[in-house]
Structure 1
């Protein structure tokens, strides 16, 4: 195979101009070879702004327009060029662990041009596209089938020894010929739908539904010591070990909960607290009207039940937001009370049990939203969310989530849909749909409250729990201060004016955590983008 370096720029202008075929009917015939060799941006934008596309002039993809020709056939796969497309058939990308062993798909010239990886199309510094998908379509379509019939598409090998194909696009960029090299690995991804094998999209990181027993048995990184995670010396800024950091975030993605034991508690101010330092090793914090970090401690006449010593039932935070934060971190700064155990439930597992046992109730929770609101302390926020989503709860869809937060549920003023998502017209049918919905709410709560799903522990000072706020419900039992006799008996140090139970919390958006997960996977395992 020819090294790609030998053919870059090999098409002189005259040959490019000569290869331009007459335009199909319905497209303007005033676009000349000279126009095609002006600035890429000027050509594409001016052409698109003045000329609507005539769909009747669309390209023919059948063999009547030309016979497909095999360019590459080896262990990596078979690449064929046809009239208006390139096809790939072969094994799935190495990092695609979805269980699909092979893929086969056509890639049109439009998409191939749109996905050009060259430094003129993907800016070397910003890594952003320098063209639009519409421009890619126009550049390939307006030239006709015969221009890309195989004469300008060749097998090639790049400087790194990767096999692939090389395409000489007839439309120049800034007056320079435009060759593109597509390694077979990129063609695999374009055929499989995986432009990049994101770690959190393969089967090794498909969410694992859990009850208490399976979490303790299979969640091997449920608890991690901070001393194992942090490689910096005492007093130095945190330097988390990538391998351990990756294990922690994979635990969080798989099971929705992880705990780090022994995070320092010496700094508690919102601007430089240890929680902030730890969370920012992942990425930026989500800001809300509570701030980027916030305290959970018992307060007289509190505006939030979390700031009392009362029992706080299973819930998710901030469902009155249109986009609630995906992840929540809670750091225990002080715990010198009786009670106050934290417990967590995998709502996905409880919902899956409802789906298997009472699918009609599951469907009712999918069809009907609940309204959540916060109307207090000079704030009013409200939003409605369906209780259960439409897709698979145990899959790898990053954005799959459940909504459940009874303390912040607003009055249910909306009519109820039936399991088919329709509003019954008949009053009796409407009443039945509403009663079914309330039965579904009751049965879902019963599943959530089942002891088998409840993972409970008492946070010690220095523990930090990380959890998926749109999957794992969290709660806390009631607590009380110790009596003088209890303080004296166990030697508890009570600092006057300081809370006896004190958590500091923060939120992170899902994209922030998933971004760090992908980067750590690249760093630790050597998985890179194509």
Structure 2
């Protein structure tokens, strides 16, 4: 019945499929006239694109329990899992557990061959010479064996791809369907800070995964029962990523002693802000350990920048668009430094367009010389709107941090500040770069583990 159906379809299509079955799968050659009845002058479809396979040319995997008589045997065939369309530059791969099929260009497939010749399994580096690859390349043979797509190229090279690899790495697959797990919060909806003790966090297991889950969902995580000293603080933070060295050093100790040209080294209140707006890449994670709490005041303020972005986009779209399209300068001058960066306030993912980073610091603004006269007027109007959302009384959460509790803050999302205080107050901390944070996140959470 299967062969009869194929022959019936082939009869009305420009290319006639001859009966040629290779068990346990059906595979079809795109270059051999044994499979397609093409003009005898054509030695291959790679050389001449005038003869195409049928518009819906399907490949079946896992053909089970075949007897010698295909015509009379009732067989269990898995649903259509792959197909080729007649435009000749890509294939369509379909799996029954996918929400959609994948349209994958031949050039992508050749470049992403993961055999040892094309891709070094030890260094995870590409060896294939993509610069000289024929741009009109197409496989001469396609087959699906269980959950693997097998391709043979015109030069005889063979490539194999698991369906999982294709789903995770090609356009339209996993990335397109990845769910945003971030949860915006306000003062009323701020989640309880799940306290994770050091014994949990010092192992690469559930405790550490919980820290990353909280950072990804809420932008904050708290680890308790840490000895109130710098070495213990760094030992804990190293599980998230190595410390980022800046002109502050690898780590910092903040007291109200005026040691740095920064308001943080005073006793005054600090409004909600993100750090490093004078860096081209602001630190991703900021680590706070209050080893000596002030006797009066000094509470820590947290504001969710994701919620700020959502409110701005919904209620003040003009202001949101302005800060998403106009770069605003930031600076740090002092201690022998002249740091300067020019970036947008709201930064979005380059592919999905989703909110990715909020750069907001009213203290470290540089002279506004980068905007036109008209844009300057818009800037101050929109800045006051943005500031009102950040300082809204429902936005901020106040915490009284105590020695032994290490707070991790996603500096690309969550703003921090503090109340004015009197008396001694000391906290230790460090930064973790975005690159190192993402690397550890992917390793611990086993994200995209296929190299």
CA distance in structure 2 between the partners assigned to 1:123 and 1:277 by the alignment = 34
128-137 or 336-345: which moved more? 128-137
1:325 aligns with 2:301: no
Q: Calculate the TM-score normalised by the size of structure 1.
A: 0.67
Q: Calculate the TM-score normalised by the size of structure 2.
A: 0.78
* 1:353 partner SS: helix
Q: 1:91 deviation in Å?
A: 4.8
CA distance in structure 1 between the partners assigned to 2:259 and 2:425 by the alignment = 17
Q: Contact 2:200–2:208 at 8 Å: present in 1 too?
A: yes
1:224 aligns with 2:187: no
1:117 aligns with 2:153: no
Q: 1:442 deviation in Å?
A: 0.8
CA distance in structure 2 between the partners assigned to 1:461 and 1:377 by the alignment = 29
Q: Contact 1:207–1:396 at 8 Å: present in 2 too?
A: no
Aligned to 2:208: 245
1:255 aligns with 2:236: no
Q: 1:340 deviation in Å?
A: 0.6
Say which of 56, 64, 72 aligns to 2:60.
72
CA distance in structure 2 between the partners assigned to 1:298 and 1:81 by the alignment = 69
Aligned to 1:511: 435
Q: Contact 1:103–1:192 at 8 Å: present in 2 too?
A: no
Q: Structure 1 pair 112/505, CA: closer, same or farther in 2 (3 Å)?
A: same
* 2:101 partner SS: strand
Residue deviations 1:127-158 (CA, integer Å, cap 9, x gap)? 221114334446x63xxx6xx44xx32333xx
Say which of 360, 367, 370 aligns to 1:404.
360
CA distance in structure 2 between the partners assigned to 1:396 and 1:385 by the alignment = 19
1:479 aligns with 2:421: yes
CA distance in structure 1 between the partners assigned to 2:131 and 2:416 by the alignment = 47
Correspondences of 1:426-441 after superposition (within 5 Å): 430=373, 433-441=375-383
CA distance in structure 1 between the partners assigned to 2:408 and 2:444 by the alignment = 18
Say which of 304, 309, 333 aligns to 2:262.
304
Correspondences of 1:113-512 after superposition (within 5 Å): 113-137=110-134, 141=137, 148-149=139-140, 152-156=141-145, 162-171=146-155, 178-189=157-168, 191-194=170-173, 202-203=178-179, 205-216=180-191, 222-227=193-198, 229-230=200-201, 239-265=202-228, 267-268=229-230, 273-300=231-258, 302-389=260-347, 400-416=356-372, 430=373, 433-481=375-423, 500-512=424-436
Q: Structure 1 pair 356/302, CA: closer, same or farther in 2 (3 Å)?
A: same
Q: Contact 1:223–1:261 at 8 Å: present in 2 too?
A: no
Residue deviations 1:221-242 (CA, integer Å, cap 9, x gap)? x332314624xxxxxxxx3251
Q: Structure 1 pair 377/111, CA: closer, same or farther in 2 (3 Å)?
A: same
Q: 1:84 deviation in Å?
A: 4.1
Q: Structure 1 pair 243/64, CA: closer, same or farther in 2 (3 Å)?
A: same
Question: Structure 2, unaligned stretches of length 5 or more?
Answer: 1-21, 26-41, 62-77
Say which of 102, 106, 121 aligns to 2:100.
102
Q: 1:310 deviation in Å?
A: 1.4
The Cα RMSD (Å) is 3.2
Residue deviations 1:242-292 (CA, integer Å, cap 9, x gap)? 112111111111111122222122x43xxxx12221122233222111111
CA distance in structure 1 between the partners assigned to 2:166 and 2:260 by the alignment = 58
Q: Contact 2:198–2:223 at 8 Å: present in 1 too?
A: no
Q: Structure 1 pair 299/3, CA: closer, same or farther in 2 (3 Å)?
A: farther
CA distance in structure 1 between the partners assigned to 2:96 and 2:170 by the alignment = 10
Q: Structure 1 pair 517/20, CA: closer, same or farther in 2 (3 Å)?
A: farther
345-354 or 455-464: which moved more? 345-354
CA distance in structure 2 between the partners assigned to 1:108 and 1:365 by the alignment = 37
Residue deviations 1:373-417 (CA, integer Å, cap 9, x gap)? 11111111112222233679xx9878811111111112223434x
Q: Contact 1:206–1:396 at 8 Å: present in 2 too?
A: no
Q: 1:21 deviation in Å?
A: 5.4
CA distance in structure 2 between the partners assigned to 1:373 and 1:308 by the alignment = 19
* 2:189 partner SS: helix
Residue deviations 1:286-339 (CA, integer Å, cap 9, x gap)? 211111111111114642111111112211111111111111111222225321
How many residues align structurally? 396
Aligned to 1:236: none
Q: In proportion to residue count, which structure has more helix?
A: 1
